[in-house]
Amino acid sequence: MSNRVFEHFPKTNIKSVCPICYKNHDGATVLVPINGTQEGFNMEAVPTHIQCVIDNLQYSKEQKLMGLETKF
Ligand SMILES: [Zn+2]
């Protein structure tokens, strides 16, 4: 299993919400690295519900990109 995947959504930071649904209910979570935040081996990441990713992920063959729309 990836070291970015967790069984529970983090509750330590009350301001932490999923960028797709803007909520913080419990559920399987993946820490998604934030582009442009890499410093050495460290990178900022945002906790995101895995179900939200699965339900919203799209693939653009023309752009060779996979992605989805987020609320922030
Ligand atoms: Zn979500």
Domain assignment of residue 72, yes or no: no
* Residues 6+ away with beta carbon under 8 Å from 63: none
Per-residue pLDDT of 23-65, as tens digits, reads 999 999 999 999 999 999 899 999 999 999 999 999 999 999 9
Rounded to the nearest angstrom, the distance between the alpha carbon of 36 and the centre of ligand 1 is 22
Q: Is 15 inside a domain boundary?
A: yes
Q: pTM for this structure?
A: 0.88
Place of tokens 């919400």: 17
In a domain, 11, yes or no: yes
Which string of DSSP letters, residue by residue, matches 11-47?
-S-TT---TTTS---SS-EEEEEPTT--BTTB--EEE
Query: How many angstroms separate the alpha carbon of residue 55 from the centre of ligand 1?
Result: 10
pLDDT of residue 12: 75
Run of H or E including 54: helix 50-56
Residue 24 lies in domain: 5-67
* CA 31 to ligand 1 center in whole angstroms: 12
